[in-house]
Structure 1
Amino acid sequence: MSESGPKYYILDTNILLHEPLAFLNFQEHNVVIPMVVLEELDHIKDRQKDVSRDARVAIRALEEALHEATPEQIISGVPLTRITGEHQAEGHISIFPDYQLRQTESALSLNENDHRIIQTALQLQIDRAPSKVVLVTKDINMRLKAKGAGVKCVEDYRTDQLIDDIRLLAKGFYTFEGNFWDAVGEVKTEQDGRDTYHFISRELFPSLYPNEYLLDETETFAARVESFTDTHVKILDIGRERLMSTRAWGITPKNIYQAMGMHALLDPTQDLVILTGPAGCGKTLLALATALEQVVEKGLYEKIIVTRNTPEIAESIGYLPGTEEEKMAPWLAAITDSLEVLHKQDENMESSMNYIMNKANIQFKSLNFMRGRSIQNAVVLLDEAQNLTASQLKTIVTRCGAGTKIICSGNLAQIDSYYLTAVTSGLTYIVERFKNYHGSSTMNLNGVVRSSLAQYAEENL
C-alpha cells in the first residue's frame, strides 16, 4: 500500500456517535461512510437516550456535505471543502453502497452490520489499491475481527487521544532527587502575609505546569508553582508539615499526596480540581469533606451537586422508582458511604447526615439532564469520571457558571465503558487539556489508605 498520497478512512458508527463531526478531522484524506452506518444512525436517532442527539447531529452534518451532490458524485466522492465552518478537511467524503456486496465462501456473514463494514474495508482494499485503506472503530472486538478477516490497517479514533502511554499522564506533582535547595543557586524571596514566595531559575525544572506541586527526597520541602516566565519560576513555599496539617470537616491527610490534593481542593482560586488514583486512595472522601468545609463552614458556595454517569446495566435510570435523586441513589452510594465515615462518631449518625444533607443543600443529579443547565455558586462532584468520553466531560464542565468549582475524580484502572481505554478516557483527556490552565489542579493520589486488604488487592490482583 502506498504511504504517500491521500488515504481512505472508513468510519464505524461509534465514531460518529463519539464525535458527530469526526469526518472533518482527517485533513487531506478521504472519508468513506458505509451505507450500513447511515442505517444504524437512522435507528439510533429516535431513541430516548442522550446518544440520539449525537446521531441527529451526525446525520445533519452529512446532509450538509452531500445535499447538492448527484448519486454518482456521492459514490465517487464529494469535496469536504464545501462544508462551512472552521475545519482543515480538504479530502472527499463518499457513501459506499455495501448492500451491493455479495456473500462469498471466504467472507464474513453479511447479516451482521459489523461484518458489512469489515467487508467494505476489504472491498476498498482491492478497489483503491495501492492507496492505504484504514478502518476506524472504537469497538475493540471489531478491530480484532477486522484484522482476522484480512483488513490490513485498523485503528482507534485518535484525534482526541493526547498521549500514547498512560504513564505519561500528568500527575500534578514533581519529585526532585536529593535536596531541592542544594541545586538552587541565587534565590529572590518575597513575603506576602504568612505566604513565602521564591523566584528560582527555570533551568532547574525539566517540565513545568501551573499549580504543579514540588517535592524532594527530604521530609521537609514542599512547594507549588504559582507562575513562570522564560527565565524564572515563582513558587509558593508551603512545607510538608504545613501541608500535612491541612484539615477539612474533621479529617486530615494520611499521606503527602492526600495533603497536596486537599490543599488544591480548598484553594478558592482553583475552579477545576482533578483527582486520579487507585481504588481506596481517598478521592471521594477528600472531595466530599472539602466541599462540606467550603459550603457549610466557610460559606464560599451555596450547594453541592453530586453526579456521575449511570452505566446502562439495564435500560436507564427510569426503571427505578422515585424522584431523580432517589433513582440516582444506587449509583451514588459512595457519597453516602463517605458521609457515614465523616459522621460515624456523632451521637446520632442518621440525624447528623440528614441535617448536613439539608444544610449543605446536597443534590444528586443525573448526567442525562445536565445539558442546557447553568450551575452557579456550587461545588460539583463528578465521580467515576473515567467512564466518560471527552465530549461528555466537555458538556459537564461547560455547565459551570460563575462561582462554581468542579471536582472530577476517577480511577483509570476501572473503566466500564465498552469503547474507552485508559488513554482514550475523557478523564485522561481533561487532565492533559487542563494541565496548562492556571485555574485548575491535578493530583494523582498515590497509595491505598482504605485498608491493608484493599492495598494488597490493588497491588496483586
Structure 2
Amino acid sequence: MDDNARKRFILDTNVLLHEPLSIYSFNEHNVVIPMTVLEELDRIKDRQKDVSRDARQAIRTLESIFHDATPEQIVAGVPLGLQDDDASGTIAIITDKHLPQGYAMFTDDEADNRIINTALYLQHTMTGMAVLVTKDINMRLKAKGAGLQHVEDYRSDQLVDDIRLLSKGFYHQENSFWDRVGECESETHGREVIHTVADELLPGAYINQYLIDDTEDFAGRVLEKIPHKIRFVDLGRERMMGRKAWGIQPKNIYQAMALDALLDPSIELVILTGPAGSGKTLLAMASALEMTIEKGIYDKVIVTRNTPEIAESIGFLPGTEEEKMAPWLAAITDTLEVLHKQDECMDGSLSYIMSKANIQFKSVNFMRGRSIQNTFVLLDECQNLTASQLKTIITRCGEGTKLVCSGNLAQIDSNYLTPVTSGLTYIVERFKDFEGSANVYLNGVMRSRLAAFAEENL
C-alpha cells in the first residue's frame, strides 16, 4: 500500500487503557502515539487501581517495539510487523508540546486539546488520512468542532454495529410454528420430545436459542446443529409458564424462558438483558435460592456488581467488604424482601436465608485471582463493565459454578461505553453459540403499571 492510501490513526490514552494491544489492530495503516498519551500513561501506571495494570501493559508493549530504535526512527515510524504479522503498518511517537505556529486550535495545556491539536497538525501536513481514535464521546465532538475531518471510536472489539441487531436469545415465528414445519422427525428421551427440522426453517439459529410462536402451546429450545438440520427440544409453553422457583412464577413467556435457563444446571452462563422492571434480578435471586437451598446443587451464592467510577474504589465506605458493598447491592436486598414479604417475621427470614444460602456480597475489584467452585454467581448491572472486566469474572468460574449476568443496556453510566461497546453486548455475541450458555431478552415491564408507562413514554 502506498503512503497516500495509508491512514494515520492517532490514538487517545483511553484506547490503550481499554485494550493495551490495540496498536496491532490497525493492520497495514500507521499508528501515531502523541507524547501527551505517554505522559498520561505515566501518571496512571502507579495508581492503586485496575486501570494502572492496563497502563503498565501498554507501556511495556510500546517499549518492546521501540527498545532498539533510534530517535529518528521513532519519529519516522517503526514497523509493527516484527511483533505481529497481521500488522504491517508502522508506529511512531510525535512530540506535541510545541507545534509549529498556526496549527494549534487550542492554546491551553489540557491533555485532550493537545492530542486534538496533534491530529489537526497531521491532517494539514501529512499525506494520507489522519484519524483520531478515542473512546471519549465529548472529545470526539470537540475534535469535529475544531475541524478534524475523521474521528472514530475504537471499534475492533465491537461485534454489532447497531444495538437493534443484538441477539435477543429467542426466535419468534409468526402464527403457528407447526403449520410452517409440517411433518418432521421426532424422538422421545424420557420425558423429553426432540424434533429434527431442516435448517432453512430456522435461519441463523444457534445452540440454546429459544423458539416461540403466536400460539399458546408451543415453546422449544435448540439443542444441536448438524449438517443441514437442527434438533430442538419441545418444552411446551404451558409447562414453562407453570414452573416455579422459590415461589416465583413467570408472568410472561420471556420470564418463562429465562427461568428455564436459570434452573438448568447444564447451562453455566445465563445472560439476561431487558428494560428496568422486567424481572431480571428477581428471577435470578429466586433461582439462586431454589438451586442452593431446596435442590442443594450449589454450596453458596455470590452477588457482585460494579461500583461507580467504572468499578474502581469502594475504600471510602466503612466496614467490611460486604458492608461496603451493601449500598450498591440494595437491589438484591430489596429482591430478597419481595421474596419473603409474606413471612410472619421478614427480618428473621432474611437472616436465616442469608445464612442458609451462604449469600456473599463481593466487589468486582476483588474477584481477580479467585477460583470459584460450586457457586451460583449473580453479576448484576453489568452493562457498565468492559469486555476485559467481564472476562476477569467469567474466567474465575470453576467446576460446578453457574454465572448469571444481568443488565439494561439503556442504563449505561460509564463515560466511555455505549450500548454497542458494552461488555454485556460483547459476551451476548461471543457466547451466542456456546452450548453452556443461554441469552434471554426479557420483553415487557412487570414491576408496576407506573414503571411500564414510564419505560414506554419517558
* TM-score bracket relative to the smaller structure: over 0.9
Contact 2:49–2:312, Cα closer than 8 Å, also in 1: no
What's the offset of the Cα at 1:230? Answer: 2.2
Q: Which deviates further from its counterpart, 161-170 or 107-116?
A: 107-116
1:98 pairs with one of 96, 99, 107: 96
CA change 1:4–1:315 in 2 (3 A) is closer
**Match of 2:309, SS?**
coil
CA distance in 1 between partners of 2:396 and 2:280 (Å): 22
CA distance in 1 between partners of 2:177 and 2:4 (Å): 50
What's the offset of the Cα at 1:409? Answer: 0.1
**Match of 1:158, SS?**
coil
- Whether 1:343 aligns to 2:340 is yes
Name 1:294's counterpart in structure 2.
Answer: 291
CA distance in 2 between partners of 1:367 and 1:203 (Å): 42
CA distance in 1 between partners of 2:12 and 2:58 (Å): 12
Name 2:58's counterpart in structure 1.
Answer: 58
Q: Deviations over 1:370-397 (max 9, x none)?
A: 1111111111100001000111111111
CA distance in 1 between partners of 2:34 and 2:103 (Å): 22
Name 2:281's counterpart in structure 1.
Answer: 284
Runs of 4+ displaced beyond 3 Å: 102-106
What's the offset of the Cα at 1:185? Answer: 3.1
Name 1:126's counterpart in structure 2.
Answer: 124
Q: Which deviates further from its counterpart, 314-323 or 378-387?
A: 314-323
Q: Give me the identity figure in percent.
A: 67
**Match of 1:25, SS?**
helix
**Match of 1:82, SS?**
coil
Contact 2:311–2:364, Cα closer than 8 Å, also in 1: no
Q: Which amino acid is 2:264 matched to?
A: D
CA distance in 2 between partners of 1:329 and 1:133 (Å): 47
Name 1:267's counterpart in structure 2.
Answer: 264
- Whether 1:405 aligns to 2:410 is no
Q: Deviations over 1:221-278 (max 9, x none)?
A: 1111111212211111111100101110111001110000000011111010000000
CA distance in 2 between partners of 1:120 and 1:5 (Å): 20
- Whether 1:204 aligns to 2:201 is yes
CA change 1:450–1:210 in 2 (3 A) is same
Name 1:393's counterpart in structure 2.
Answer: 390
Give TM-score scaled by structure 2 length.
0.97
Name 2:79's counterpart in structure 1.
Answer: 79
Q: Which amino acid is 1:95 matched to?
A: I
Q: Which amino acid is 1:278 matched to?
A: P
CA distance in 1 between partners of 2:426 and 2:312 (Å): 28
CA distance in 2 between partners of 1:307 and 1:315 (Å): 13
- Whether 1:311 aligns to 2:308 is yes
CA distance in 2 between partners of 1:161 and 1:434 (Å): 14
CA change 1:258–1:26 in 2 (3 A) is same
Note the 1:51-450 alignment, pairs <5 A. Answer: 51-83=51-83, 88-102=86-100, 104=102, 107-129=105-127, 131-312=128-309, 316-450=313-447
**Match of 2:327, SS?**
coil
CA distance in 2 between partners of 1:337 and 1:132 (Å): 53
What's the offset of the Cα at 1:186? Answer: 3.0
**Match of 2:361, SS?**
strand
CA distance in 1 between partners of 2:219 and 2:343 (Å): 35
Q: Which deviates further from its counterpart, 214-223 or 31-40?
A: 214-223
Q: Which amino acid is 1:8 matched to?
A: R
CA change 1:63–1:313 in 2 (3 A) is closer
What's the offset of the Cα at 1:410? Answer: 0.1
CA distance in 1 between partners of 2:121 and 2:336 (Å): 58
Contact 2:312–2:365, Cα closer than 8 Å, also in 1: no
CA distance in 2 between partners of 1:191 and 1:205 (Å): 21
**Match of 2:389, SS?**
helix
Contact 2:208–2:222, Cα closer than 8 Å, also in 1: yes
CA distance in 1 between partners of 2:50 and 2:312 (Å): 13
Contact 2:410–2:419, Cα closer than 8 Å, also in 1: yes
CA distance in 2 between partners of 1:98 and 1:25 (Å): 24
Contact 1:3–1:132, Cα closer than 8 Å, also in 2: no
CA distance in 2 between partners of 1:379 and 1:64 (Å): 41
Q: Deviations over 1:302-321 (max 9, x none)?
A: 11111010012998211100
Name 2:21's counterpart in structure 1.
Answer: 21
Contact 1:175–1:214, Cα closer than 8 Å, also in 2: yes
Q: Which amino acid is 1:253 matched to?
A: P
CA distance in 2 between partners of 1:449 and 1:427 (Å): 22
What's the offset of the Cα at 1:457? Answer: 0.6
Q: Which amino acid is 2:55 matched to?
A: A
Contact 1:10–1:133, Cα closer than 8 Å, also in 2: yes
**Match of 2:131, SS?**
strand
Contact 1:25–1:87, Cα closer than 8 Å, also in 2: no
Name 2:30's counterpart in structure 1.
Answer: 30
5+ residue gaps, structure 1: none
Contact 1:24–1:87, Cα closer than 8 Å, also in 2: no
**Match of 1:446, SS?**
coil
**Match of 1:183, SS?**
helix
CA distance in 1 between partners of 2:329 and 2:443 (Å): 23
CA distance in 2 between partners of 1:3 and 1:71 (Å): 21
5+ residue gaps, structure 2: none
Give TM-score scaled by structure 1 length.
0.97
Q: Which deviates further from its counterpart, 204-213 or 439-448?
A: 204-213
CA distance in 2 between partners of 1:199 and 1:69 (Å): 61
